[in-house]
């Protein structure tokens, strides 16, 4: 239903029918390009064009935010079309009647004194000012503003989410702020394109002027029989008048465009901002006054203008200085009032500064168990408001680690870091960097696992989890890459895989004594006798170290009852963590076997030669029960590591899990020797193979 306009003010009535007026204006623009207009109507249109330019320019002075003139890009397009339609109408009248109305004639005679040469020079100067200076600068500022506004959107979205989660704003406030951010991005994106209209308008004005002069001379001389001088004077003055009357509003709109895109940090209207910026400090005003007095003393220079300006700057400096003193005294009185009203202490004694809160310092000492720092370009992968599902993936990873290793991964903190590359991320465990990588959010990572022969065109990189050579490809190449045999994953999956591998490698560091206490309390509810017997023989720290050793070698610790029973049995014999770890591993032989056997139930291994095992035994001083030291020649150690590495490479090339089978007496020592260089190698002993399992050896490490 139409809203009744009865009782509305004239302004509200105009606002109510503004859509009709805008439609009429667009239709009028089309009509002006096709149908000749009478000169009186053209005068009205040209005057309206200048008026619109003045009003828009002045409106930009009072706009504190770009969104206060949200319709400016569309307005710029419509006014540019309106101005071009006026150019077409005036050109038609100039060429047909040698008369384009009083406004054009006035600009051609009175403004430039009737001299078409002077008019042409003034017109060219206006075009140069608009095209080279204002338009080019405004276009560049709009482009940069659009890019930085779009780049800053993810950070602003995360700030809104953080304020919402902290309870600083409600859902309605968050929705309004998100809408504002979206409108800003849309505005600056539109301004980036709308600034091209101004540039094109300047070029079109120059071309139309040249066409008018050439066409007017041809019509005047060839069709109307004017002498060349009369034709040049008549049509040049009219053309220059038309150019000036169209370029002046174009210059106003170019300036308005520059003002609206450069007002990035304004807090009030433009006049107050500029005046406040120039009168903040009195010293520059006094120095400028002294410089002007010195210029007035130079022989040959006019003295009165410099003396007047010098006196004005000196007076302004004095006013600014006096205003600063008044504000300083007012601030001192306020501080004194606060002193007098402060409780405690003798009168007149300055209050002592409040001591820093110890909680503020203690908060800085806390270290997150695990965290991921991301560049701002990766924020959309994490923020749920932008479609990111990384938080859900992390929840899945924590469940997976609980199922596979039996450890409860603490919450992983994700925060943005502007000091790293926008597409980079860093993984940290207890504050120490454990890995980093780079992601392209809108691309897929294609890895050649050995089955692809054709190379893909993309951004070369290295897969961060396993160090495989890979390439980032656009989404449209995904099907092709998969058909060629590449393994293709998206960017969130790359980060999730890296997180999973980091947890597997450093999961032992996440297993704190507090977590072990929670696990012990959990088992105590179901099997209190086992826990009591174990804790009577071992301390919480010794239990923690055994569990850490198991997790470090990817042995699941879900079967805590079996683990605690083994610790209770052997804790009475020795409290050596290494000895207890080996006994627990033997008790978990079935779990270890399940982890390393293939789909057919076969355990494929490489065995360490008796020669190497004997050398390792001879190099050990002591034993696992009472403590030991390893004293093998470093050259022999390097030889053994190289031999095992060749076996591991051979197994990996065949698609087998690298497993090394050794004697129980040397298993832990061999593992300690190889864990730094071959972290993915499983070192097991004969006692850790479950009964009835088929064992297959691919060879012996000599």
Six-digit token string for 312: 């004005």
Please give the structure tokens belonging to residue 186: 């849309």
Taking CA atoms, 332 is separated from 143, 320, 348, 637, in Å, by 47, 18, 14, 76
Estimate to the nearest angstrom the gap between the alpha carbon of 239 and the chain centroid. 51
For residues 89 and 103, give the distance between their C-alpha atoms in angstroms, rounded to a whole number: 13
Q: Is 488 helix (H, G, I), strand (E, B) or coil?
A: strand
User: Confidence class of residue 348 from pLDDT cuts 50, 70 and 90?
Assistant: very low
Q: Per-residue b/e over 589-619, b at no fewer than 16 CB within 10 Å?
A: bebbbebbbeeeeebbbbbbeeebbebbeeb
Q: Cβ atoms within 10 A of the Cβ of 651, count? A: 20
**618 or 32, which is more confident?**
618
- Return mean pLDDT, the chain: 78
The domain 511-587 having CATH identifier 1.10.3470.10: the answer here is no
Name the β-bridge partners of 444.
473, 490
Query: Computed from CA positions of residues 590, 591, 597, 598, in that sequence, does the dihedral angle turn out positive or negative?
Result: positive
- The average pLDDT across 230-241 equals 72
Q: How many residues does the chain have?
A: 702
| Residue 345 confidence class, pLDDT cut points 50, 70, 90 | very low
pLDDT in tens, 113-150: 656 677 667 777 777 776 666 666 666 666 666 666 66
Contact (Cβ atoms closer than 8 angstroms) between residue 295 and residue 301: yes
pLDDT reading at 425 higher than 90 = yes
CB atoms near residue 9 (< 10 Å): 8
| Burial class for 314, CB neighbours closer than 10 Å (0-12, 13-18, 19+) | middle
Which residues have a Cβ under 8 Å from the Cβ of 47 and sit 6 or more positions away? 103
pLDDT band at 427 (very low <50, low <70, confident <90, very high): very high
Planar angle of CA 492, 497, 502, nearest 5 degrees: 125
Q: What percent of the chain has pLDDT over 90?
A: 4
CATH topology of domain 370-506: Glutaredoxin (3.40.30)
The alpha carbon dihedral of 320, 323, 325, 328 has a sign of negative
Q: Say how far apart CA 66 and CA 182 lie, in whole Å.
A: 13
Question: Which carries the bigger pLDDT value, residue 638 or residue 20?
Answer: 638
pTM: 0.50
Provide the sign of the torsion angle of the four alpha carbons 650, 655, 658, 660, taken in this order: negative
Helix (H, G, I), strand (E, B) or coil at 98: coil
Condensed to tens digits (0 to 9), the pLDDT of residues 432-446 reads 898 899 998 888 999
Segment 262-284, tens digit of pLDDT: 665 455 566 666 666 666 777 87
Please say whether the dihedral angle defined by the alpha carbons of residues 103, 104, 105 and 110, taken in this order, is positive or negative.
positive
* Per-residue tokens: 561: 């009852």
- Phi-psi map region of 170: left, alpha, beta (phi>0 left; psi -120 to 50 alpha): beta
What confidence tier does 67 reach under pLDDT thresholds 50, 70, 90?
low
Give the whole-number percent of the chain exceeding pLDDT 70: 78
- In this structure, how many other beta carbons lie within 10 angstroms of the beta carbon of residue 173? 13
CATH number of 591-702: 3.40.50.12790
Tens of pLDDT, residues 1-10: 444 555 566 6
Q: Which two tokens stand for residue 620?
A: 């050990």
pLDDT of 333 higher than 60: no
CA distance 236 to 222: 16
568 vs 39, 523, 527, 560, CA distance in Å? 108, 14, 13, 12
Three-state SS for 290-303 is HHHHHHHCCCCCCH
């Amino acid at each position: 239903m139409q809203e009744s306009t009865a009782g509305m003010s004239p302004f509200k009535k105009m606002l109510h029918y503004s859509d009709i007026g805008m439609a009429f204006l667009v239709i009028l623009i089309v009509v002006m390009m096709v149908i000749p207009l009478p000169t009186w109507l053209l005068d009205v249109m040209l005057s309206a064009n200048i008026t619109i330019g003045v009003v828009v320019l002045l409106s930009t002075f009072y706009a504190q935010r770009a969104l206060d003139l949200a319709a400016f890009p569309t307005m710029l397009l419509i006014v540019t079309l309106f101005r071009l339609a006026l150019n077409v109408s005036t050109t038609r009248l100039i060429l047909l009647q040698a008369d384009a109305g009083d406004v054009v004639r006035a600009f051609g005679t009175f403004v430039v004194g009737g001299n078409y040469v002077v008019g042409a020079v003034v017109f060219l100067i206006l075009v140069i000012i608009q095209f080279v200076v204002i338009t080019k600068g405004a276009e560049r500022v709009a482009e940069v503003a659009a890019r930085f506004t779009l780049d800053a959107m993810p950070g602003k979205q995360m700030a809104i989410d953080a304020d919402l989660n902290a309870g600083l704003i409600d859902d309605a406030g968050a929705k309004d702020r998100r809408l504002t951010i979206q409108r800003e991005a849309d505005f600056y994106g539109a301004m980036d394109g709308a600034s091209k209209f101004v540039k094109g308008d300047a070029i079109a004005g120059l071309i139309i002027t040249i066409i008018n002069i050439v066409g007017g001379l041809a019509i005047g001389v060839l069709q109307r029989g004017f002498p060349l001088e009369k034709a040049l004077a008549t049509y040049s003055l009219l053309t220059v008048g038309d150019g000036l009357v169209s370029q002046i509003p174009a210059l106003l709109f170019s300036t308005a465009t520059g003002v609206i895109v450069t007002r990035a940090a304004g807090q009030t209207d433009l006049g107050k901002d500029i005046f406040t910026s120039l009168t903040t400090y009195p010293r520059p005003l006094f120095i400028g006054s002294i410089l002007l007095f010195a210029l007035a003393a130079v022989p040959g220079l006019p003295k009165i203008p410099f003396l007047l300006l010098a006196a004005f700057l000196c007076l302004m400096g004095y006013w600014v200085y006096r205003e600063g003193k008044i504000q300083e005294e007012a601030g001192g009185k306020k501080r004194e009032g606060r002193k007098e009203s402060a409780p405690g202490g003798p009168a007149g004694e300055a209050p002592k500064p409040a001591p820093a809160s110890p909680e503020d310092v203690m908060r800085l000492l806390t270290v997150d168990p695990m965290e991921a720092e991301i560049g701002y370009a990766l924020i959309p992968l994490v923020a749920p408001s932008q479609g990111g599902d990384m938080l859900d993936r992390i929840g899945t990873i924590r469940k997976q680690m609980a199922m596979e290793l039996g450890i409860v991964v603490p919450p992983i903190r994700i925060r943005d870091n502007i000091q790293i590359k926008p597409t980079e991320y860093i993984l940290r465990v207890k504050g120490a960097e454990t890995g980093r990588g780079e992601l392209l959010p809108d691309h897929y990572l294609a890895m050649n696992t050995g089955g692809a022969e054709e190379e893909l065109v993309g951004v070369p990189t290295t897969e961060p989890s396993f160090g495989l050579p890979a390439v980032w490809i656009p989404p449209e190449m995904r099907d092709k890459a998969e058909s060629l045999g590449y393994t293709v994953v998206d960017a969130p999956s790359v980060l999730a895989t890296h997180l999973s591998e980091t947890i597997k490698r450093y999961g032992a560091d996440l297993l704190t004594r507090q977590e072990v206490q929670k696990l012990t309390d959990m088992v105590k509810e179901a099997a209190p006798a086992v826990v009591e017997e174990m804790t009577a023989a071992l301390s919480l720290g010794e239990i923690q170290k055994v569990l850490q050793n198991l997790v470090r070698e990817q042995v699941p610790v879900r079967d805590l009852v079996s683990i605690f029973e083994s610790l209770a049995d052997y804790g009475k014999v020795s409290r050596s963590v290494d000895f207890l770890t080996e006994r627990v591993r033997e008790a978990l032989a079935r779990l270890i076997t399940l982890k390393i056997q293939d789909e057919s139930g076969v355990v494929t291994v490489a065995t360490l030669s008796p020669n190497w095992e004997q050398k390792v035994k001879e190099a050990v001083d002591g034993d696992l029960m009472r403590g030991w030291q390893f004293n093998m020649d470093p050259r022999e150690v390097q030889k053994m590591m190289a031999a095992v590495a060749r076996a591991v490479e051979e197994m990996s090339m065949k698609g087998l899990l690298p497993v090394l089978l050794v004697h129980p007496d040397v298993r832990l020592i061999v593992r300690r020797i190889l864990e730094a260089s071959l972290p993915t190698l499983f070192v097991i002993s004969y006692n850790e193979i479950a009964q009835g399992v088929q064992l297959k050896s691919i060879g012996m490490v000599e």
